[in-house]
Structure 1
Amino acid sequence: MDLEALRIAALGFVETHRAWTPLIAGTLAFCESIAFLSLLVPATVILIGIGAMIGAADLPFWPVVAAAAVGAAAGDWLSYEFGRAYGEGAKRLWPMRRYPAMVAKGETFLRRWGAAAVAVGRFFGPARAVVPLIAGMFGVARPAFQAANVLSALVWAFVLLAPGAGLLAWFQD
């Protein structure tokens, strides 16, 4: 199944089962935020589509944003804890071992910005799932990590879903 077919199927499922939209958005955001799984799940495109469906299908906006934020924060937390548990050994696992330059950039970014790198990294594709893993490997303090994680997850979910929901509603008026 190609990515376009997956996107169409996922959005069709959301349209059919509207009550499940928050759960679906949260699950997609969770998958998008896990270090290894994010490479396999085209969640960002589907979430943007869900944002457009919010406006078109009169779905409740804030529950979907909250669910996506919870999913994203939980995925980053899992990546962080994985990094803490495996330490430097995580670099030897797929896909980290295949992209040493990306890992090195993530390490440099994290050394420079600390926990703030988690918040900033959430908004940049491949870094979204790698930075929390590296933060765990480097032993960034949990409270600082979680503060950056949760706050950036809320902003990320809003920024991802609001344009589709708001712009579509605006065009319909």
Structure 2
Amino acid sequence: MNVQDFVDAIVMFVRNHEEWAGPIAFFVAFLESFCFLSILWPGTAILIGIAALLAKSGVELSVLWPAIIWAGVGGSLGYAISYWIGLYYKEGIRELWPFNKYPAMVDRGQVFFDRWGAAGVFLGHFFGPVRAIIPVIAGVYAVPQWQFQIANILSAFIWAAGVIAPTYFGLSYLLN
């Protein structure tokens, strides 16, 4: 099974079970934001597919908004756990997979974080290449929990809405 087949399977599941759009959006966003899995997980593509499917099927906004909220919660939880992993392991993070196989990933995350600081947590949700590493680096640097969580939660909900809503509303407009 290739990546496209996997994305299609999840989108098809949501097509047949619209009531699961929210929990699936949570799961997809969590994996997209979790430090180890986000490298391999095509979460943004899946969320776009779900949003397109919801628009095409003509579901009411009462299904869309909960999906955005679920995705925001999933994205912020994935980032929070990643932060706590970095806080726990500190520099030892370089010895864990996938960071031990791709040490440049940690270095790129540090450069990004050095440049943007705590604002990098906010920006990290929007840039796929650093999404996997920014919360871990924030934990390694011991960014204060409250600063991290404010940036995390705000950006997770903006990211979720920014991925799901434009697809839904754009396709709804084109179909009508």
Give TM-score scaled by structure 2 length: 0.95
Q: What's the offset of the Cα at 1:92? A: 1.1
Q: Report how many residues are paired.
A: 173
Q: Does 1:89 align with 2:92?
A: yes
Mapped pair 1:76 → 2:79: yes
Question: How much does 1:41 deviate?
Answer: 2.1
Q: Could you tell me which residue of structure 2 aligns to residue 5 of structure 1?
A: 5
| % identical equivalent positions | 44
Q: Does 1:20 align with 2:23?
A: no
Mapping of residues 1-173 of structure 1, within 5 Å:
1-57=1-57, 58-59=59-60, 60-173=63-176
- 3-state SS in 2 of match to 1:102: helix
Instruction: Say which SS state the counterpart of residue 110 (structure 2) adopts.
Output: helix
Amino acid at match of 2:5: A
- Once the two structures are overlaid, the 10-residue window that deviates more, 127-136 or 97-106, is 97-106
Instruction: Give the secondary structure class of the aligned counterpart of 1:98.
Output: coil
Residues in 2 aligned to 1:147 and 1:54: alpha-carbon distance in whole angstroms:
30
- Matched residue type, 1:132: P
Shift of 1:71: 0.1
Q: Which moved more, 1:38-47 or 1:20-29?
A: 38-47
Task: Decide whether the 8 Å contact of 1:22 with 1:63 is kept in 2.
Answer: yes
CA–CA distance in structure 1, aligned partners of residues 86 and 79 of structure 2? 10
Paired residues of 2:39 and 2:132 also in contact (CA < 8 A): no
Structure 1 stretches (4+) deviating beyond 4 angstroms?
none
Give the drift of 1:39: 2.2
Once the two structures are TM-superposed, the CA of residue 163 in structure 1 deviates from its matched residue by 1.8
1:69-90 Cα deviation digits (max 9, x unpaired): 0000000000000000111101
C-alpha RMSD of the superposition: 1.0
Select between 18-27 and 101-110 the one with higher mean Cα deviation. 101-110
Unaligned runs of 5+ in 2: none
Note if contact 1:31-1:38 (Cα within 8 Å) is conserved in structure 2.
yes
Q: Secondary structure at the match of 1:97?
A: coil
